Each structure stands twice: as structure tokens, then as C-alpha cells.
Homo-oligomer: A and B are copies of this chain.
């Protein structure tokens, strides 16, 4: 697994020390990232991920020193160096080195090649448990690096055999730590539009679902979540993952729902043919 990474113009081994200690990502949490993967060796929905990355950078006022085309070329190089069939890429853009520990001078841009995370095929089939957690992300439209609560709750999740946290606040449901949430009620597909990061898989699922379902993109209340027929979450790594337990609450009859599995099948078909 000879993975490499790109840092400010250089291609270097993935385990090399890279960041000096006055980086604003490290000192001030001033950074953002993005994450996507290849199917059949081709980055999935590359235009969408790039646009989202550009948008996060714009919201944190961090200029990009590199174009989409230049970046695509680097991805191709990193992929070739990996000698893997499939890889994931993680972009990290930080505020860069700051002599005064406060003001941005020049961002640091990192692209890591990563092995695909462990799949959870059992979860996709049988559904997962999540814990409701009262929280709303700060600057939710930015894919910022602020995941303190997720890391802090990792023990508790293991203890409760839960896979993730589901954020709600003031009676409204937003998202999971790194994925979006959909509910299905009376054959209508509903997903939150407030206080969320707009997931690419969320967008793809809505495209795939459009011929088959009425779709509502709007605020979703906690009560609706708790009375939904089906609940699922979407992300680059989770695809369409049924949620069958929310804390002590059982969703529907506790089994992965048929609409969720149907959409999962559509996504699986799309990615299996990606780039061919």
C-alpha cells in the first residue's frame, strides 16, 4: 500500500511529517476538508465534490491556489501511484502557517490518498442504530474540520453499539455527524434542508428517487423522525444505510425498509457502472 499525498505542490509519502506547528488548522481549528472515492478507478461525481470544496473554501475565505483541472491531474497521479483498484481521496485545506497564530497568510492544501474504509454490508442489509444528540453544527454549510463531539462520543457509541450520532436541536432534525438523513412517511421521501452539509450522495439519491417518489426538501421535526415508516442516512461511505434504531426507539418494525433497500439498490447499480 504505497500511498502518497500531495502537499502544496509536492507528492510525498503518506506517513511523512508534513505540517509545521503554526498551522491555523492545528492551532485554531481553521480548516475544511472533503472526501470522495473512485468507482472503477474514476472519482465519483468529481464535479459535485469539487464545487462543494470550492464553496467551503469560499465560506471560510480561503483562496485556492490550484484549478479543478490541475487537481484532477494530481488525483490521477496519486491513483496511479497507489496501485490499488479503488481509493478514497481526502482534501484538507487549512488557514496555513500564521506568524501571529491568528491571521491567514497562505492556506495549506493537502490531498491524501486513503484506503477505502471498511464497508458495513451487514449494516446496509439490516440497518444500524444511532444515538439522538442535541447539537447543531456551527457553520453547517462548511465541511469544516470541527468534529469534536463525534470524537468525544466515540466511547459512548461503542458502549451502546451505535454507529453514529443523529443531531437535533429545538425540535428539528438536521443530519448525522458525517451524513444526511432521510425519512419516509406514507411513501413520501423527506429530507432536511436546514443546518446541514449538502451531501453529494444525498443529491444523487434524490435524483435516483425522483421518478418513483414524491420528494420533500424541508425542515424535519424530531416528532416526524420518531413516527417515520423508514429512516436512512446517506454518505460517500454509507451509501443508503437504513436506520432501524434511534436510541431506544425502534423505527417501523425494526427491519430495513423496502423503500430504503430499493434506493440502495439503485445507487449500487449506478456506482457499479460508474466510469465504464
B-binding residues in A (CB < 8 A)? 5, 7, 14-31, 33, 60-61, 90, 92, 94-95, 100-104, 110, 112, 117, 138-139, 144-152, 154-155
Contact = CB atoms under 8 A, between A and B. Distances in A.
A27 B92 CA distance: 8
A20 B16 contact: yes
Contact of A28 (B5, B110, B148): B148
Contacts of A101: 90
What is the copy number of this chain in the assembly? 2
5 contacts: A15-B20, A26-B92, A26-B145, A29-B145, A100-B117
Contacts of A22: 112
Contacts of A33: 27
A30 B95 contact: no
A92 B147 CA distance: 17
A151 B17 contact: no
A144 to B, nearest CB: 6
Contact of A154 (B5, B90, B104, B152): B104
Contacts of A117: 100
A69 to B, nearest CB: 24
A185 to B, nearest CB: 32
A164 to B, nearest CB: 10
Given A17-B18, A21-B14, A23-B26, A148 B151 contact: no
Pairs of residues from A and B, 10 with the lowest C-beta to C-beta distance, nearest first:
A29-B29, A28-B147, A19-B19, A29-B146, A30-B151, A29-B145, A17-B17, A25-B26, A18-B21, A103-B154
